[in-house]
């Protein structure tokens, strides 16, 4: 039982490049979320999903796309990376009651 797995752990992108951050969970959780964490800003919700095929925007969705084709996977796509997207990204999953959140180890992304 691995919990929430994120890949890659580190990534450097050039401005304008695209990439996908992967997130997978093996706990059969309905809810999955993506957060970014910046110094002094705390964790901010980017997008979330309440089940396969259902996604919605969080607090800071601009520049990011998500899809949820299976219960297990919730990838985050950056279509055209910008320096403002330099951050640490965390994926999380919750059970149906939406209480305890399980987080992945994070992806540290630098956009130059």
Token digits of residue 112: 């130059």
Which of 70, 80, 105, 110 binds other proteins (CB under 8 A)? It is 105
Of 11-19, 38-46, 70-78, 79-87, the segment contacting other proteins by CB under 8 A is: 38-46
Which of 60, 104, 109, 111 binds other proteins (CB under 8 A)? It is 104
Q: How far apart are CA 27 and CA 4, in angstroms?
A: 8
Of 11-19, 62-70, 71-79, 94-102, the segment contacting other proteins by CB under 8 A is: 94-102
Query: What DSSP line would sit under 89-111, residue for residue?
Result: EEEEEE-TT--SEEE---EEEEE
Q: 59-78: which residues touch other proteins (CB under 8 A)? A: none
Q: Does residue 90 belong to the site contacting other proteins (CB under 8 A)?
A: yes
Which of 1, 2, 14, 40 binds other proteins (CB under 8 A)? It is 40
Q: 3-22: which residues touch other proteins (CB under 8 A)? A: 4
Element at 11 (helix H, strand E): strand 10-13
Token digits of residue 97: 């009651």
Q: How far apart are CA 47 and CA 64, in angstroms?
A: 8
Query: How many C-beta atoms surround the C-beta of residue 44 within 10 A?
Result: 14
Binding site for other proteins (CB under 8 A): 4, 31, 33, 35, 40-45, 48, 50, 58, 90, 92, 94, 98-106
């Amino acid at each position: 039982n691995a919990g929430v797995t994120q890949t890659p752990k580190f990534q450097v992108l050039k401005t304008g490049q695209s990439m996908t951050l992967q997130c997978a969970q093996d706990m059969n959780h309905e809810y999955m979320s993506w957060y970014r964490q910046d110094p002094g800003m705390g964790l901010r919700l980017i997008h979330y999903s309440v089940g396969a095929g259902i996604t919605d925007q969080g607090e800071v969705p601009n520049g990011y796309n998500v899809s949820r084709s299976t219960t297990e996977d919730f990838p985050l796509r950056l279509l055209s990376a910008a320096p403002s997207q330099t951050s640490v990204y965390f994926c999380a999953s919750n059970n149906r009651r939406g209480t305890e959140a399980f987080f992945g180890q994070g992806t540290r992304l630098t956009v130059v």
